Structure 1
Amino acid sequence: MPSATHAPDTTATPLAEPARAELRLEAVLGVLSDPLRLHIVRKLLLESPDADRSCGWFGIDRPKSTLTHHFRALREAGVTRQQQYGLERRSRVRIEDLDARFPGLLDLVRAWQPAD
């Protein structure tokens, strides 16, 4: 008998985030001042701008609680949008909202190179 395949859960539940008009530059710059959060945002922008990505996709070797904290900080500042897919949360950068509120900011984030 063939094994049953299960389709992935595509029903996403968005998590709370500030509206575009509520985005504050000091909050966005504050969360991006953390090197790990800046790395997360750059990786999304450069490698996956049009897709929701789970924590495991980033390959960051940190405790789950630490990653949860950083992803929540990005969402609460309005930098990322998170959606719940069953037990998994996936993130993407709010490119249109950030470009509308802070033109050029994401271009700077994309172009930034970490010091060696």
Structure 2
Amino acid sequence: MRPLHHPRTDELDLVTVLHALADPVRLAITTALADGAEHACGGFDFGITKASLSHHFRVLRECGVTTTRQDGKHRLISLRASDLQHRFPGMLDAVLASAVTSERA
């Protein structure tokens, strides 16, 4: 299996990251990953097809929001919170806080 592309921290682009997080499914994935743990791809159930879920994982990884680690047959996904904080201070916290506020409304 070929290695997955993960942009370097200095390659992260604010517009691309915000565009990725504007999608409700990708925002929900990001919110779930905010616990700081690694999550298996199969552990997410948003009522969409596996192909659609894979697409959302790829968009998040390629824009630099998440990182994916191969562990045998499994792919484990985690949030690149420290990289995002370093590159765009406060942005992730603001987006996650907004998502929580929207869920409560």
Structures share fold, TM-score greater than 0.5: yes
**Would you tell me which structure has more helix in proportion to its own residues?**
2
**Aligned residue for 1:61?**
47
Percent sequence identity is 45
RMSD of the alignment, in Å?
A: 1.7
1:14: Cα distance to partner? 6.3
* TM-score, scaled relative to structure 1: 0.79
Structure 2 segments unaligned to the other structure (5+ residues):
none
Runs of 4 or more consecutive aligned structure 1 residues displaced over 3 Å after TM superposition: none
Q: Are positions 1:73 and 2:64 aligned together? A: no
Distance apart, 1:43 and its partner CA: 1.3
Contact 1:15 1:81 in 2 (8 A): no
Report the Cα distance in structure 2 between the residues aligned to 1:60 and 1:86, rounded to whole angstroms.
Answer: 24
Structure 2 residue identity aligned to 1:33: A
Q: Distance in 1 between matches of 2:90 and 2:45?
A: 28
CA distance in 2, matches of 1:84, 1:67: 17
User: 1:39 is matched with which residue: 28, 53, 63?
Assistant: 28
Contact kept, 8 Å, 2:25 with 2:46, in 1: the verdict is no
Cα-to-partner distance string for 1:55-91 (whole Å, 9 max, x where unaligned): 2322222111111000000000000001111222111
Deviation at 1:99, TM superposition (A): 0.1
Partner of 1:17: 6
Alignment equivalent of 1:26, drawn from 12, 15, 30: 15
More deviation, 103-112/68-77: 103-112
The 8 Å contact of residues 42 and 109 in structure 1, kept in 2 or not, is answered as no
Q: Which of the two has higher C-alpha Rg? A: 1
Instruction: Figure out how many residues of one structure are paired with residues of the other and give that number.
Output: 101
